Amino acid sequence: MPALDAKILKTLQKFDTPTICNALEIVAPQRRLHGYNVEPLQCVYPDLPPIVGYARTGAIRSCEPSFRSPAEDRDMRLKWYKYVDQGGPKPSIIVLQDLDGIRAGYGSFWGEVNSHVHRGLGALGVVTNGCIRDVPMNATNFQMLAGSIMPSHAYVHVVDVGVPVTICGMSVRDGDLMHADMHGAVVIPHEVAGKIAGAVDLLTRKEKVIIEASKKKGFSFAVLEKALKQSADIH
């Protein structure tokens, strides 16, 4: 799928992920119950701004050796890095599924080295149900949303590249437009990405009436009822 206008991505980055989810309820109501994580993700760097990019998907395991030869392991790792660099438009967001089930996160693919490598290859961050480590030493401005924080890489190895993945209930395909921040992550359908800003503006105007009313002295149910009606009349 071709890249969207860079201005659209820049605009989307101004909003937090819950706001994006709210806007999607207007422009893509059929996605109200899916397209975002529904299980917790730890945001390792909550002070970083939202990230917006194209998904590079893959799968890993770490509980057991790969049972491939060292040369085959090296080739798979190189295949992954080549995909991250050349597999689609940038900026990218890495979406990496740990396939070890209830033992997901046993060993970490993510730490000082891989955060710097992926940042250098054009990625803004990673979303994974696996784990990360090296918290103080990871690449600057590289966001990490993970299932856990752990100390070892165990037998971590790449299993597959560019495949559909599921992270904490969120299904992601190669090239999907992703938005992520301290709250979690969401997939934005390409066809509605340009409509998000307008939906956010509408929601902001509707919510502003209620919020401003609640801040005024003498706020009561009667005032709230009036504000809710005024909000509903904004289109």
pLDDT tens digits, residue range 154-189? 999 999 999 999 999 999 999 999 999 999 999 999
Q: Which stretch of DSSP H or E encloses residue 206?
A: helix 196-215
Compute the distance between CA of residue 33 and CA of residue 141 in angstroms, rounded to an integer.
30
Determine the pLDDT at residue 142. Answer: 99
Phi-psi region of 119 (alpha: psi -120 to 50; beta: other; left: phi over 0): alpha
Q: pLDDT tens-digit profile of 64-77?
A: 999 999 999 999 99
Domain that holds residue 151: 34-188
Q: Is the pLDDT of residue 2 over 90?
A: no
Are 140 and 214 members of one domain? no
Q: Is residue 28 part of a domain?
A: no
Determine the pLDDT at residue 1. Answer: 72
pTM for this entry: 0.95
Are 133 and 153 members of one domain? yes
Q: pLDDT tens-digit profile of 69-105?
A: 999 999 999 999 999 999 999 999 999 999 999 999 9
Residue ending a domain, choose from 171, 188, 205: 188
Are 75 and 137 members of one domain? yes
Residues in contact with 21: Cβ distance below 8 Å, sequence separation at least 6, in sequence order? 36, 186
